[in-house]
Amino acid sequence: MYAVGEQDDHDDIFPVIEYGGAEGCWEAPGDLERRLYKLSQVEESYTYLRTLAENGVYHPVPIEQANRNPAERQPLTSRITGSDGVPRTITQVYTDGLLPRPHPYVVFEFITLGTLAHILPPEVDVLVVNAATPCQEMFQVDDEEREVWADLHEELFDPQVLTDRLVTRRTGAPEPGPLLHGLACGAHLCYGNGDPWNTLDWHGAGYSAEVERLEESWGVSSREDWLETQQRLLECEVSPWFWDFVLGARQALDRERGASGGRGPVDAGLWRDCVEATLRRAVEAPEGPEFEQFLGEMREMVGKILRYEARFRADGLLGSDEVVRTVAAWDLGRASKMARWGRGARYATRAEMYDALERVSAGVRSSYRSWAEFSAAYVMGRCLHFDEERFGEWYTEVLEAHHALLRAPGSPWNTVPFQLPG
């Protein structure tokens, strides 16, 4: 892992922001930082603290000391002498929008204000929030203050509020092009997780949480695992091959019918027969109960797809005469986030993340004609994977994301052209 990190070694351990101090010279990276800046300007320190309690913060820690359990961490501290000549021990935390580009040896861990109150070493005198930025604030640390933090956490922190929302960075995003387009392809997951969709400086839910996410959800626990999974997603080999096989049979029938002047939807029975006949021709020695059972499942897949498409039309995911042509979007959309997850877990170099995002962009643009078509295909893949025709949360949550991303003026799908020039 460290060999990978060394390729991206740099000195930006903490945020460095040039700011002249004049009104309007600094553009906050996100809504949270904008609010904190305004509060710091009017010296509303208690409201500032309440805002931190609602959102949580990130604290730096050497990578070898990183731990998913906050109680096992040792926050970085430093000793300074104030203008009054009194030496004090300080620790620094930052909000999400101000985190620097990932460093190979120092990582940032997410922590709530309440948990921070419990784990800060007793010798810490001052908490510095967003140090050396225009929205810096300092808080004295004593027993009474720690109790205030704990109480505010109990009152205000709700992790659900931080999900299912569109978050866009105003600064630091790549210029329009394949990289930005590739980031936009991961918008479903960014919306669901409440992550900024357009940042390349990925910290996600904090270093240890990113490592845990990959291991628990994907079985990825090393750089080699990440490289393999990222490649399989980019080649659309994670989803079952027969999803696109069944969809491809309908397209083949549609082309044949179009050549003979036919119109209207493909007949479901003809589609099922085409799937079965093609499989019988393609499979060597297609005999036995297991193969016959598989054929039956593939014929039923036709019905499942048709029922999902009917629901999609009713819910505004598809137009009256539209169908899903390929579910490549399901793997490619996740590949967009896998590139960032790998970077956050320090399994991927920056160059590898960039390359993966550009390949995602190329794959999506070659498979679809619009963000709406891409999104409907992504939803179909997610439903085939998880939903089992229950139309439960696996469907309703991503349906909400689809509509929000298509309607919000600041959404990537309304600010990033689907097709790129050239």
Question: Domain coordinates of the chain in residue numbers?
Answer: 2-162, 178-238+328-415, 241-314
Q: Amino acid letter at 378?
A: Y
Please name which of 234, 177, 191 lies closest in space to residue 360, comparing C-alpha atoms: 234
| Closest CA relative to residue 415, chosen from 187, 195, 192, 190 | 187
Q: What's residue 35's pLDDT?
A: 97
The total of other beta-carbon atoms located within 10 Å of residue 158's CB is: 9
| 1, 91 contact by CB (below 8 A) | no
The whole-number pLDDT of residue 2 equals 43
Q: CB within 8 A of 30, min separation 6: which ones? A: 95, 96, 97, 167, 168, 169, 170, 196
Residue matched to tokens 């990113």? 210
Listed in sequence order, the residues at least 6 apart from 8 whose beta carbon sits closer than 8 Å to its beta carbon are 102, 104, 349, 350
pLDDT computed for residue 260 by the predictor: 57
Residue 4 is predicted with a pLDDT of: 62
- Taking the chain (422 residues) in runs of 10, the rounded mean pLDDT of each run is 64 78 75 96 96 98 94 89 85 96 94 96 95 94 96 98 96 96 98 97 97 98 97 98 97 82 81 95 79 95 98 97 97 98 96 97 98 98 97 97 96 96 76
In contact, 393 and 151? CB cutoff 8 Å:
no
Q: How far is CA 309 from CA 136, 279, 304, 306, 321, in A?
A: 51, 24, 9, 5, 10
How many whole angstroms separate alpha carbon 51 and alpha carbon 331? 36
Region of residue 42 (phi > 0: left; psi between -120 and 50: alpha; otherwise: beta): alpha
For tokens 């948990």, the residue is 115
Residues in CB range of 325: below 8 A, 6 or more apart: 247, 251, 367, 377
What is the pLDDT, as a whole number, of residue 21?
54
Q: Torsion-angle region of residue 206: left (phi > 0), alpha (psi -120 to 50) or beta? A: left
Q: What is the pLDDT of residue 82?
A: 75
Structure confidence at residue 14 (pLDDT): 87
Q: Which residues contact 345 (CB under 8 A, 6 or more apart)?
A: 207, 210, 211, 214, 220, 226
Buried b (16+ CB within 10 A) or exposed e, 53-69: bbbbbbbbbebeebeee
The pLDDT value given to residue 99: 96
Main-chain dihedrals φ then ψ at residue 128, nearest 5 degrees? -105, 120
